[in-house]
Structure 1
Amino acid sequence: MPHIHVVTTGGTIDKVYSLSGVLEIGPPAVDALLSPVLTDNTYDVTPALAVDSLDMTDADRAVLCAAIDALPGRLVVITHGTDTMPETAAFLDEHLAAADQTVVLTGAMQPAAMATSDAAYNLGAAMTAVQLLPAGVHLAISGRVFGAGKVAKDRARGIFVELA
């Protein structure tokens, strides 16, 4: 049975409403999203960052890269904000040390805490995709799988699309 490392970075998927009514990054939503799933796959959660992806810098991406490089296994899912997910995927594709790791980034357009969120669907797709894809960096979002450097967020439609 495969073991999957889930590394969290914050982003919309982990946002919650504070008592003052402001959306802020809460604890990782991964366990709440995966707890209803019946499977013999195992996973662990490593919080690497807790930032909105609009605020993510290359220094943050280097921290994420180091966290992934420190993991013992080859299957890695990263929860990430959608605004700069393609940039982070390209950074990781260029800087990760282990050539045999399969890394899949995912996130959500709506916080996991919201009833109409796409978070559970996207995380489930990523957990499956990481087991099927070849080594490298990929994105699983909007019902599709994309390679690093080959995807963009279409903000007008609220989905990710393949670059021509």
Structure 2
Amino acid sequence: MPVTQVLILTTGGTIDKLYFDALSTYQIGDTVVDRLLHTARVTLPHRIVGLMRKDSLELTDEDRAAIRDAVTHAPEDRIVITHGTDTMTETAQALSGLEGKTVVLVGALSPARFAESDAAFNLGMAFATAQVAPPGVWIAMNGTVFDGAKVRKDRSQNAFVPV
């Protein structure tokens, strides 16, 4: 069955961060997802919905419930969620058990606004994964697609690794 549309839910995280000074003061800015997909000349229909603008360390159980609710009630069955990397696996766990939905969480280790960011590559991986992966919760980071229940962020490597 061909994918008719991909839903992209934005929640904040490093991918959308703006930095203001040498002390790394930041805030979550407007999402860059639409610009990244336009630059990549993505033609597959997609819809972008901004759920929240938070660093993932600030996400609460209520926020995760709102994310799950948005996924559950979305008409699309292929969904990408931009998310901060620090608690991405916690949100993946909160989304487990959804029926008939392919959900891919993605983030960046440096903001998309930085010249040498991993954001565009990671988003492309997530967009592709959402189209071809079976239903379940996935994390697309570092050039790898991980089962959302079998991955962790290794801070010493600044990368995601399987568990």
- The bucket for the TM-score relative to the shorter chain is over 0.9
What's the CA shift for 1:70? 2.1
Report the TM-score, using the length of structure 1 for normalisation: 0.92
Pair 1:40-2:43 in alignment: yes
Structure 1 residue 39 displacement after superposition: 3.7
* CA offset digits 1:13-62 (Å, max 9, x no partner): 01012489721100111011111123430111111111100111111100
Deviation track 1:91-146 (CA, whole Å, cap 9, x = no partner) reads 1114x4xx111000000000111111100000000000111100011101111011
Match of 1:145 in 2: 145
Give the Cα separation in 2 of the matches to 1:83 and 1:56. Answer: 10
Tell me which residue corresponds to 2:95. Answer: 92
Gaps of 5+ in 2: none
Q: Is the 8 A contact 1:106 1:123 kept in 2?
A: yes
- In the alignment of these two chains, the number of paired residues is 160
Aligned match of 1:104: 104
Q: What are the residue-to-residue correspondences of 1:1-164 with 2, within 5 Å?
A: 2-18=4-20, 22-94=25-97, 96=98, 99-163=99-163
In 2, Cα distance between the equivalents of 1:38 and 1:137? 26
Give the Cα–Cα distance (whole angstroms) in 2 for the partners of residues 13 and 39 of structure 1. Answer: 19
Taking structure 2 as the reference length, what is the TM-score of the superposition? 0.93
Q: Matches of 1:126 and 1:17 in 2, distance apart?
A: 25
Q: 1:12: Cα distance to partner?
A: 0.4
Contact 1:7 1:48 in 2 (8 A): yes
Q: Which moved more, 1:79-88 or 1:37-46?
A: 37-46
For structure 1, list consecutive stretches of 5 or more residues without a partner in the other structure.
none
Instruction: Classify the secondary structure of the residue corresponding to 1:93.
Output: coil
Counterpart residue identity of residue 131, structure 2:
Q
Deviation at residue 66 of structure 1 after TM alignment: 1.1
Verify the 8 A CA contact 1:53 1:82 in the aligned structure 2: yes
